Amino acid sequence: MRELFDEVAGQSPLDPQESARAGMRAPARKRFYKDAGVKDAEDGFVVTLDGRPIRTPSGRVVAVPVKPLAEAVAAEWQAQGETLDPLTMPLTRFANSVVEGVVGRADLVRDDIAKYLQSDLVFYRAGHPEGLVQREARHWDPVLDWARDSLGAHFILAEGIMHVSQPEAAVAAARDALPNDPWTIAATHVVTTVTGSALLALSLVHRVRDPDQVWAAAHVDEDWNAEQWGVDEEAAARRASRQVDFRAAVQILQALRG
């Protein structure tokens, strides 16, 4: 089962793009179990296949902190057909990576998220056309206002793509607002990398913006261009792939909140 789980898990969902590519490269494996279920465990809940707990490639039992999330992971396994499709198992990939690479290393993940605060998506604004300028402001300004008023993080905006250095105090204040537990910080990291914005991820974690608002804010420029010039099919396919990981991260955050 270890070899199979390694393929299903793919790469860490902390790199969701590579996770999807690895899943597509993996050869199809036949389903070898009848039923997936959930059992109580000392440190949470475990997902079982015919009564045996699933494990990471290194042999660690995948313990999930809350039952609804464990049930959602089990549902991914139960929904598989005659062969396993890794691309339909984002929660499984996520759980594997948290247990394997985030538990005991949450500070490293926090540091990686904090790097985005130096060049966050919402800092860089269009100078024209006016419709795009207004749309960016409508989606992004509430997040910056919240960071300033609630976190004490005052960031600097720029027009165009020329890099602007952000105040260390602002970056530190926003970093301090990041969660500490491994599951929540891992979900925050996925949202950050998928959207290109640590501030959008923070606004989701702190319930300042809802998932639909965050997803829309992450694609303001892309949606504007599509309206002007039409949809780029390759870009749309990449967006759909990212949205799978985004929805998985949102589902995890909601499950952890109870």
pLDDT at residue 25 above 80? Answer: no
Q: What is the pairing mode between strands 124-125 and 52-53?
A: unpaired
pLDDT at 241 over 50: yes
Q: What CA–CA distance (Å, rounded) separates 7 from 3? A: 7
How far is 85 from 83, CA to CA, in rounded Å?
7
Backbone φ, ψ for residue 31 (5° rounding) = -65, 130
Give the C-alpha separation, 92 to 197, whole Å: 24
Instruction: Check: CB of residue 39 under 8 Å from CB of residue 46.
Output: yes
Amino acid (1-letter code) at residue 88: T
What is the per-residue pLDDT for 162? 85
Cα–Cα distance, 143 to 121 (Å, whole number) = 11
**Is the pLDDT higher at 46 or at 3?**
46
* pLDDT at residue 71 greater than cutoff 80: yes
Closest CA to 111 of 14, 255, 11: 14
- Contact between 186 and 97 (Cβ < 8 Å): yes
pLDDT level of residue 87 (50, 70, 90 thresholds): confident
Q: How far apart are CA 24 and CA 57, in angstroms?
A: 19
Mean pLDDT computed over every residue of the chain: 90
Q: Supply the pLDDT for residue 18.
A: 52
Quote the pLDDT of residue 195.
97
**Mean pLDDT computed over 133-156:** 98
Amino acid in position 166: Q
Residue 76 CA to residue 25 CA, distance in Å, equals 20
Q: How confident is the model at residue 29 (pLDDT cuts 50, 70, 90)?
A: confident
- In the predicted model, is pLDDT for residue 49 greater than 90? yes
- Say which residue the tokens 């500070």 belong to: 107
Question: 15 pLDDT band (50/70/90 cuts)?
Answer: low
Task: Output the CA–CA distances (angstroms, integers) from residue 56 to 49, 90, 103, 135, 149, in the order listed.
Answer: 14, 15, 13, 44, 42
pLDDT-derived band at 54, boundaries 50, 70, 90: very high
pLDDT, position 27: 66
What is the reported pLDDT for 155? 98
Q: Tell me the pTM.
A: 0.89
Q: What is the mean pLDDT of residues 168-196?
A: 96
Residues in the chain: 258
For residue 49, the cross-strand partners are: 36, 52
Indicate whether 184 pLDDT > 60.
yes
Q: Which helix (H) or strand (E) holds 55?
A: none
pLDDT at residue 133 greater than cutoff 50 = yes
For position 28, what pLDDT does the model report?
74
The pLDDT, as a whole number, for residue 12 is: 46
The helix or strand, by DSSP H or E, that contains position 52, with its residue range, turns out to be: strand 52-53
Candidates 193, 200, 223; CA nearest to 16 is 193
Percentage of the chain exceeding pLDDT 90: 80
Domains and CATH numbers, the chain: 2-102 (3.30.2180.10), 106-257 (1.10.3580.10)
In the numeric block, the tokens 């501030």 are attached to 199
Confidence of residue 138 (pLDDT cuts 50, 70, 90): very high
Lowest mean pLDDT across 46-50, 53-57, 244-248: 53-57
Q: What is the pLDDT of residue 40?
A: 96
Q: How many other C-beta atoms are found inside a 10 Å radius of the C-beta of residue 99?
A: 21
